[in-house]
């Protein structure tokens, strides 16, 4: 909580502010600390709009002396509380002018007295607040900069800026972006929404009619659709079959007994695409294997399909993954090795208790 200076407003200040509220012609009232009290030391009459009159506020300011300016805003209902109407409203802006050249004591005094002014005159009247160190901060252009800053809202984080760029580029609104609720049906083993074309392609793959199926997600309907389904003649044709800058799901028969599932997510993909594809991945595998009879012997992810899905890279993945997977599968139902003996847990000793010893007592001298 900020420290208060103890300086109080004078009765003259209160009376002049009440007059300003009722007459409707006062644009600004200057308030200064004189001795140990707050005094009204100047005023400016309304001659035009708020911005036009603000270009005249500099006449109330001194180069080295801080002060407060109470500035009436345009608009409002103009009610004075007694049923009469005034040409302008009674909403005010509180301006703190503290020039850099002012003495340190004066800066501290005005900083600690600000709350006293608004409490004395009525906090409900003041709906805006400006702090400035130069007369230009209280000009029409300074006021516009102030309002632009206030209306712009809080700055966005890096991730929020990325999401905003995605919405701008693709025409999505905030409501279109995926949320935890909208993605809930695609995770934790739930089924995956496949188009008829995708289901047909996966069924053909399961029968061996084609040896590669590439799937993509339609961002509008959030369904998985077929991107291409065909029979490649060489492993070198796998990488060119995928997009270099968009995620894809790939089912590929490396040979007649080895089916691979590859999640390709290039490093250049945006945040939204990564989120959506990641949330669909498990559900797609579950649907393909359980509902459509697709065999999958190895699964892996790549972020550079051009190099990581070359013929040599695929052969290395198969060599590294398939033998271990098949060995694990063949052990199911076979003889199980006896579990290794588990060390027994030793109960900790109570505080102050000496550990027991199994060492027999030493034999007395002369014993046989």
Q: What is the mean pLDDT of the chain?
A: 80
- Judged against a pLDDT cut of 80, whether residue 366 lies above it is answered with no
Per-residue pLDDT band at 75 (split at 50, 70, 90) = confident
pLDDT for the residue numbered 24: 82
pLDDT for the residue numbered 104: 92
Separation of alpha carbons 321 and 110, rounded Å: 73
pLDDT for the residue numbered 274: 86
Average pLDDT over residues 242-249: 91
pLDDT for the residue numbered 4: 64
pLDDT for the residue numbered 251: 96
Average pLDDT over residues 242-266: 92
Average pLDDT over residues 2-26: 84
The tokens 């070198």 sit on which residue? 236
Determine what percent of the chain is predicted with pLDDT higher than 90: 48
- Judged against a pLDDT cut of 60, whether residue 21 lies above it is answered with yes
pLDDT for the residue numbered 192: 74
């Amino acid at each position: 909580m900020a420290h208060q200076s103890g300086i109080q407003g004078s009765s003259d200040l209160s009376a002049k502010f009440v007059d300003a509220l009722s007459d409707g012609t006062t644009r600004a009232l200057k308030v200064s600390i004189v001795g140990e009290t707050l005094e009204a030391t100047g005023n400016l009459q309304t001659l035009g709009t708020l911005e036009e009159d603000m270009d005249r506020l500099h006449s109330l300011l001194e180069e080295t002396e801080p002060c407060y300016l109470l500035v009436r805003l345009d608009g409002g209902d103009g009610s004075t509380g007694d049923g009469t109407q005034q040409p302008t409203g009674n909403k005010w802006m509180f301006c703190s002018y503290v020039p850099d050249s002012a003495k340190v004591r004066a800066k501290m005094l005005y900083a600690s007295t600000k709350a006293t002014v608004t409490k004395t005159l009525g906090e409900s009247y003041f709906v805006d607040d400006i702090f400035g160190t130069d007369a230009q901060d209280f000009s029409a252009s300074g006021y516009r900069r102030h309002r632009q800053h206030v209306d712009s809202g809080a700055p966005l984080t890096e991730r929020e800026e990325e999401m905003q760029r995605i919405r701008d580029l693709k025409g999505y609104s905030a409501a279109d972006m995926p949320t935890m609720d909208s993605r809930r049906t695609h995770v934790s083993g739930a089924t995956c929404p496949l188009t008829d074309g995708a289901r047909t392609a996966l069924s053909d793959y399961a029968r061996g009619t084609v040896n590669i199926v590439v799937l993509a997600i339609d961002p509008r309907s959030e369904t998985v659709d077929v991107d291409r389904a065909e029979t490649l003649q060489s492993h070198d044709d796998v990488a060119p079959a995928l997009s270099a800058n968009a995620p894809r799901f790939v089912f590929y028969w490396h040979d007649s007994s080895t089916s691979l599932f590859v999640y390709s997510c290039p490093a250049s993909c945006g945040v939204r695409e990564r989120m959506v594809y990641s949330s669909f991945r498990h559900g797609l595998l579950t649907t393909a294997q359980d509902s459509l009879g697709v065999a999958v012997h190895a699964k892996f992810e790549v972020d550079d399909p051009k190099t990581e899905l070359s013929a040599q890279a695929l052969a290395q993945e198969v060599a590294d993954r398939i033998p271990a997977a098949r060995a694990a599968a063949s052990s199911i139902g076979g003889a199980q090795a006896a579990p290794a003996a588990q060390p027994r847990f030793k109960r900790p000793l109570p505080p102050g208790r000496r550990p027991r010893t199994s060492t027999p007592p030493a034999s007395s001298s002369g014993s046989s």
